[in-house]
Amino acid sequence: MTSWVGRTAAEIAAAVREKRVTPRDVVAEHLARIEQVDGRIGAFRHVRAKEALEEADEVGARPDLTELPLAGVPVAVKDNLPVRGEATRNGTAATDDTPAANDHPTVARLRAAGAVVVGLTNVPELCVFGTTEGVHGTARNPWDPTRTAGGSSGGSAAAVAAGMVPLGLGNDGMGSLRIPAANCGLVGLKPGPMTVPAGIGNGDWFGMSENGPLATTVEDARLLLSVLAGADLTPGSGQFPRKIAVSVRSPLAGVPVTRAYAAAAREAAAVLSDAGHRIRRADPPYPWWLATTSLAHWTAGTAVDAQDLDPRKLTRRTRVHAAVGRRCLGAVLQGDRREQLRRLMEPFFEEHDVLLTPALARRGPAAAPWHERGWLRNVIANTRYSPLTPPWNLTGWPAMSIPFGTLPSGAACAVQLVGPPGYEQDLLDLAGQLEELRPWRRTAPTA
């Protein structure tokens, strides 16, 4: 008997379309996998077992089954996006159990494409931090369960990396998709604005937050992004070779990049050089004010998201984060730092097609009750390990994390690719080339 757990979304969808397997059988196997391993991983806040099986039967009966790009594919949805009939808790006790009346547009597109939502995944409170823990559970890295899965899309990343689903839907406001992808050995892509419907929280963190895919292969990430964007992202359309800048410098002064992550970026650059790309060591012109601007936008976004919630039901770190953000809100709304950063970066990306960096500065923090710890301790821990993702939310440009190499613990290491506006497809093409030349293990040995 063929097992569909651990297979790619592309393989599953093809088999369902060809009627070699039913959507119910695929979903049932993945539900069994969730029951087997999620007690150790903590990926899901809520599993829709009964509903998912019923919806799988509906997919199997669709007259357009043979045309569905995600036919019968189980997916996990981050618990800050509405799923019809389910509560959206956003990682906090300050929200209620009222079921959503409608699907978020991204969820609606997944279902229209034949995917089956098997559950909603854990996030840190209000999706603020780069570790995932709180009143609804702690998401652990399936490759190293002593460590966090990352955040804030940590539950979705953990679910995919542990083989509980082949695809996860996440979003990224300061690295919230790329950070857990890097921790968990996945492909995670933050698209640029207007590529995928946003509608995340109260204003998308001033337009910095974008929805995107989490997958074990570039092909699956491309497939999911195509569905989310409603666009054809056929591989191979980009112009090769590319002019690629490689930088291992941290954007933030005093926050170093550790040896393993710097080495991964340099080695990935060497692989791409051998493939014919033009590689140059060059650092982007990160401004001195990047740290304060990142902190202001990060906290102000939380202040907006928390404004209608009962503060007594929020954890202390979130209350402090929002309080700092309220002081920054006016400057964020009236300032032009994001436009200044774009103007600074535009000449760099006129000279180089793509930027290659480490995805993280160091391995993720321990899987621990960070929600019970002080605000400053959380901010320092987040800043020390993930300084390389926020600049590209501030510019709004596409960026992605892909697995490359391993850490001494055996967990995945990762690099980041960044491009100017409209480069989503080009980044996927480069990532696909890296995957072909340096393939990675797709699923963690959690069983």
Domain ranges of the chain: 9-289+333-437, 290-332
The first and second tokens of residue 310, run together, are 């009962």
Q: Could you read off the pLDDT of 345-354 as tens digits, one per residue?
A: 999 999 999 9
**So what's the pLDDT on residue 354?**
98
The pLDDT confidence band at residue 232, using thresholds 50, 70 and 90, is: confident
Structure tokens at 355: 């930027």
Q: At a CB cut-off of 8 Å and minimum separation 6, what does 351 contact?
A: 243, 245, 282
pLDDT digits (tens, 9 = 90+) for 202-229: 999 999 999 999 999 999 999 999 999 9
How much is the average pLDDT of 135-147? 97
Percent of the chain with pLDDT over 90: 96
Catalytic residue among 3, 19, 50, 152: 152
Nearest-angstrom CA–CA distance, 446 and 164: 10
Q: Is 250 considered catalytic here?
A: no
What is the pLDDT, as a whole number, of residue 235? 80
Q: Scanning the structure block, which residue is given the tokens 């590209």? A: 392
**Residue 233 binned pLDDT confidence (cut-offs 50, 70, 90):** confident
Catalytic residue, candidates 78, 153, 156, 250? 78
Does the active-site annotation cover 190? Answer: no
Q: Average of pLDDT values for 177-184?
A: 98
How many of the other CB atoms lie within 10 Å of CB of 394?
21
Checking if the pLDDT of 238 tops 90, the result is no
| Confidence band for 445, pLDDT divided at 50, 70 and 90 | confident
Rounded Cα distance, 13 and 86, in Å: 25
**CA separation, residue 163 to residues 6, 136, 251, 363, 403 (Å):** 5, 21, 34, 22, 16
Q: How far is it, in rounded angstroms, from Cα 185 to Cα 294?
A: 26
What does the pLDDT look like over 356-397, one tens digit per residue?
999 999 999 999 999 999 999 999 999 999 999 999 999 999
Active site residue 78: yes
For residue 2, the model assigns a pLDDT of 73
- pLDDT, one tens digit per residue, over 37-93 is 999 999 999 999 999 999 999 999 999 999 999 999 999 999 999 999 999 999 999
Q: Please answer whether residues 88 and 38 qualify as being in contact, where contact means their C-beta atoms are separated by less than 8 angstroms.
A: no
End-to-end Cα distance, the chain = 19
pLDDT of residue 1: 55
How far is Cα 119 from Cα 211, in angstroms, rounded to an integer? 17
H, E, C per residue of the chain: CCCCCCCCHHHHHHHHHCCCCCHHHHHHHHHHHHHHHHHHHCCEEEECHHHHHHHHHHHHCCCCHHHCCCCCCEEEEECCCCCECCECCCCCCCCCCCEECCCCHHHHHHHHCCCEEEEEECCCHHHCCCCCCCCCCCCEECCEEEEECCCCCHHHHHHHHCCCCCEEEEEECCCCCHHHHHHHCCEEEECCCCCCCCCCCCCHHHHCCEEEEEECCHHHHHHHHHHHHCCCCCCCCCCCCCEEEECCCCCCCCCCCCHHHHHHHHHHHHHHHHCCCEEEECCCCCCCCHHHHHHHHHHHHHHHHHCCCCHHHCCHHHHHHHHHHHHHHHHHHHCCHHHHHHHHHHHHHHHCCEEEEECCCCCCCECCCHHHCCHHHHHHHHHHHCCCCCHHHHHCCCEEEEEEEECCCCCEEEEEEECCCCCHHHHHHHHHHHHHHCCCCCCCCCC
| Residue 239 pLDDT level (bands cut at 50, 70, 90) | low
Pairing of strands 167-172, 354-358: unpaired
Average pLDDT over residues 176-199: 98
Tokens representing 92 are 């906090």
Residue 237 in this model has a pLDDT that exceeds 60: no
416, 357 Cβ separation under 8 angstroms: yes
- The answer to whether 180 touches 170, Cβ cutoff 8 Å, is yes
The per-residue pLDDT for 170 is 98
Kindly tell me if the per-residue pLDDT of 110 is higher than 70.
yes
CB-based contact 72:21 (threshold 8 Å): yes
Query: Per the residue annotation, which of 153, 156, 176, 294 is the catalytic one?
Result: 176
| Total number of residues shown for the chain | 447
Q: What average pLDDT score do residues 289-309 get? A: 98
Q: Which CATH class is domain 9-289+333-437?
A: alpha beta
On average, the pLDDT of the chain sits at: 97
Contact partners, residue 264, CB within 8 Å, separation at least 6 = 358, 404, 405, 413, 414, 415
